[in-house]
């Protein structure tokens, strides 16, 4: 007995709410009943949320069907049923004919079972080629028009966002609210409702606190503990702050107002940058300099890596250097006591080069001896002097960060100057010409 293979596809959740899936299932059931095909033994393929205008990799069930077809897992006489040819592809007549030929050439029948007509194709003749080409071309043109219209709408939205700071979508960072206001539309000659973003005062203060804490040497874990201890509400429906949430906020350029519009990448579901980032689109909580400074601090902190044990903590992870060769120092775990079948309790620290090569001759040290010796030595140090705001090292560090910010600003100015110089075909920008003339006039006046 021939087996029924049904293929159902829809690209959006709106179609799901509009009973598109239910309609396709009913058509399949009616077709099976009329042609004495069993639904119980049928093979059902569903690609939900994927467009036939995209490439085949997005339609996973359909791709798997053609792979199984090539492997001979379907028998001649089996029926591949779908509502319309546009369920199979919307990428034009050539792609449609190739897919139809792949099905029929293996001895399967292709059933097109729309509510207007039902037909079963067992071979490809001239009439079939013409009708399939017309239907496939129509589907391709419809999808292309929808895609082009969507791109135009988003281009208009991006222009409004850049010029008038109008909200492009309802989605925004969690510390922002939306506010409705009226804008006069020149084409429609009337006021229309628009939305813009405004800061939520309480949440904005929390974001500012997170950056302040991070600048003062607190990591995401410590900041999480501080926020939870102070019972500061989270931004979403979660009970407690987590380090991952803190890290995302610290990395989000929207905190200083930058917005990067996104678009789909050639029909795929992955997103890419749609245009240049829009400066000052969101209300800023911190300055760009503060954000960039925090990114440099985070980049420095990522160099402190190391393995953490379940019952053992290395207090000096990423901090120790070999006194002989200057290389990093690793923790050495001797492993398992084979007789007692338990982990050995003694851990050692050893130079990385000495551990894996003979380039360094520094002997290994017992970790517990090293830790006890160092902690006793620390007791003799006045921590108040080290943590003093006027500590020379701290002052120099702050000066270094200030200089780094100035360097970044000057680099930006140089890039802008080079861009302007190229755009003006090698001529100096107008502001520099005006400045030069002003200096000439000043010099002339001083001579007179």
Q: What is the mean pLDDT of the chain?
A: 76
| pLDDT for the residue 251 | 94
Structure tokens at 182: 């009226």
Mean pLDDT is lowest, of 42-51, 298-307, 335-344, for: 335-344
Give the residue from 364, 377, 290 showing the smallest Cα distance to 329: 364
The contacts of residue 256 (CB under 8 Å, 6+ apart) are 284, 285, 286, 287, 288, 290, 291
In Å, how far are 251, 313, 322, 348, 406 from 304, measured between CA atoms? 19, 14, 16, 19, 27
In Å, how far are 315, 344, 347, 388 from 311, measured between CA atoms? 13, 12, 12, 35
Q: d(Cα 297, Cα 397) in Å, to the nearest integer?
A: 11
The contacts of residue 325 (CB under 8 Å, 6+ apart) are 351, 353, 359, 360, 362
Cα 102 off chain centre by: 37
Contact criterion met (CB below 8 Å) for 344 and 334: yes
| pLDDT for the residue 15 | 45
pLDDT at residue 221 is higher than 60: yes
Most confident option among 157-166, 288-297, 421-430: 288-297
CB atoms under 10 Å from CB of 254, counted, come to: 22
Q: d(Cα 276, Cα 174) in Å, to the nearest integer?
A: 23
Greatest CA separation found in the chain? Answer: 110
Structure tokens at 207: 């974001």
pLDDT at residue 209 is higher than 90: yes
Q: d(Cα 84, Cα 96) in Å, to the nearest integer?
A: 11
Q: d(Cα 259, Cα 281) in Å, to the nearest integer?
A: 6
Q: Is 4-144's fold the same as 201-301's?
A: no
pLDDT at residue 129 is higher than 80: no
Say if residue 31 is exposed, middle or buried (CB neighbours under 10 Å; 0-12, 13-18, 19+). buried
* More confident position, 345 or 254: 254
Say if residue 179 is exposed, middle or buried (CB neighbours under 10 Å; 0-12, 13-18, 19+). exposed
Contact criterion met (CB below 8 Å) for 317 and 342: no
With a pLDDT cut of 70, the percent of the chain lying above it is 69
pLDDT at residue 287 is higher than 90: yes
| pLDDT for the residue 292 | 93
pLDDT at residue 424 is higher than 60: yes
Average pLDDT over residues 118-143: 75
Q: d(Cα 339, Cα 342) in Å, to the nearest integer?
A: 8
Q: d(Cα 79, Cα 282) in Å, to the nearest integer?
A: 55
* More confident position, 370 or 433: 370
Q: d(Cα 274, Cα 272) in Å, to the nearest integer?
A: 6
Looking up tokens 């979660």, which residue turns up?
238
Looking up tokens 């989000």, which residue turns up?
252
Contact criterion met (CB below 8 Å) for 282 and 178: no
Mean pLDDT is lowest, of 166-175, 303-312, 324-333, 360-369, for: 303-312
Assign 207 a pLDDT band (cuts: 50, 70, 90). Answer: very high
Q: d(Cα 6, Cα 263) in Å, to the nearest integer?
A: 32
- How many CA within 13 A on the CB side of residue 220? 16
pLDDT at residue 250 is higher than 90: yes
Coil vs helix vs strand at 347 = coil
- H-helix or E-strand spanning residue 336: strand 336-337
**3-state DSSP percent of the chain in helix, strand and coil, to 5:** 50, 15, 35
> What is the DSSP code string of 272-309?
EE-SSPBTT-SPPSS-HHHHHHHHHHHHHHTT------
| pLDDT for the residue 53 | 45
| pLDDT for the residue 141 | 67
| pLDDT for the residue 262 | 73
pLDDT at residue 18 is higher than 50: no
Model confidence pLDDT, tens digit, residues 400-410: 878 888 887 78
Q: Does domain 201-301 have CATH number 3.40.250.10?
A: no
The contacts of residue 374 (CB under 8 Å, 6+ apart) are none
pLDDT at residue 440 is higher than 50: yes
Average pLDDT over residues 105-113: 89
Q: d(Cα 57, Cα 48) in Å, to the nearest integer?
A: 13
Most confident option among 64-68, 160-164, 334-338: 64-68
Structure tokens at 169: 């979508």
Looking up tokens 């400066």, which residue turns up?
279
pLDDT at residue 196 is higher than 90: no
| pLDDT for the residue 63 | 86
pLDDT at residue 52 is higher than 50: no
Residues in the chain: 448
Model confidence pLDDT, tens digit, residues 137-188: 776 667 665 655 555 555 666 666 666 667 776 678 999 998 887 777 776 7
Domain ranges of the chain: 4-144, 201-301, 305-379, 392-447
- H-helix or E-strand spanning residue 119: strand 118-121
4-144 to CATH, choices 1.10.3720.10, 3.30.1490.100, 3.40.50.1390, 3.40.50.150: 3.40.50.1390
Model confidence pLDDT, tens digit, residues 382-401: 655 555 556 666 677 778 87
Average pLDDT over residues 218-241: 89
* More confident position, 253 or 309: 253
Predicted model pTM: 0.41
């Amino acid at each position: 007995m021939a087996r029924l293979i049904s293929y159902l596809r829809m690209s959006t959740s709106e179609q799901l709410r509009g009973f598109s899936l239910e309609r396709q299932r009913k058509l399949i059931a009616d077709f099976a009943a009329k042609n004495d095909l069993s639904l119980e033994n049928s093979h059902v393929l569903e690609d939900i949320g994927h467009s036939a205008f995209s490439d085949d990799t997005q339609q996973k069930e359909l791709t798997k069907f053609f792979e199984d077809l090539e492997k001979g897992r379907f028998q001649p006489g089996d029926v591949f049923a779908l509502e319309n040819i546009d369920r199979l592809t919307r990428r034009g007549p050539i792609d449609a004919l190739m897919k139809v030929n792949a099905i029929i050439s293996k001895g399967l029948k292709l059933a097109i079972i729309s509510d207007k007509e039902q037909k079963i194709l067992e071979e490809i003749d001239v009439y079939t080629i013409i009708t399939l080409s017309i239907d496939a071309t129509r589907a391709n043109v419809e999808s292309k028009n929808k895609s082009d219209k969507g791109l135009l709408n988003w281009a208009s939205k991006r222009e409004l966002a850049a010029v008038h700071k109008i909200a492009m979508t309802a989605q925004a960072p969690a510390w922002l609210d939306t506010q409705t206001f009226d804008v006069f539309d020149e084409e429609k000659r009337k006021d229309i409702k628009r939305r813009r973003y405004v800061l939520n005062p309480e949440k904005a203060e929390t974001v500012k606190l997170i950056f302040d804490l991070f600048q003062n040497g607190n990591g995401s874990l410590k900041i999480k503990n501080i926020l939870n201890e102070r019972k500061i509400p989270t931004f979403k429906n979660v009970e407690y702050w987590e380090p991952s949430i803190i890290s995302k906020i610290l990395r989000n350029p929207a905190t200083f107002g930058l917005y990067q519009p996104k678009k789909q990448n050639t029909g795929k579901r992955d997103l890419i940058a749609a245009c240049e980032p829009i400066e000052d689109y969101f209300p800023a909580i911190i300055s760009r300099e503060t954000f960039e400074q925090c990114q440099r601090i985070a980049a420095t902190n990522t160099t402190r890596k190391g393995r953490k044990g379940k019952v053992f903590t290395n207090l000096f992870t990423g901090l120790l250097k070999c006194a002989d060769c200057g290389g990093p120092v690793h923790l050495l775990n001797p492993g398992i006591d084979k007789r007692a079948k338990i982990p050995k309790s003694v851990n050692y620290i050893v130079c990385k080069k000495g551990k894996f090569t003979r380039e360094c001759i520094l002997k290994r040290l017992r970790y517990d001896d090293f830790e006890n010796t160092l902690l006793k030595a620390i007791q003799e140090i006045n921590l108040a002097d080290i943590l003093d705001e006027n500590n020379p090292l701290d002052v120099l560090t702050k000066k270094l960060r200030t200089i780094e910010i100035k360097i970044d600003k000057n680099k930006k100015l140089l890039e802008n100057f080079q861009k302007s110089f190229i755009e003006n075909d090698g001529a100096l920008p107008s502001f520099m010409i005006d400045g030069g003339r002003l200096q000439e006039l000043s010099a002339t006046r001083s001579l007179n």
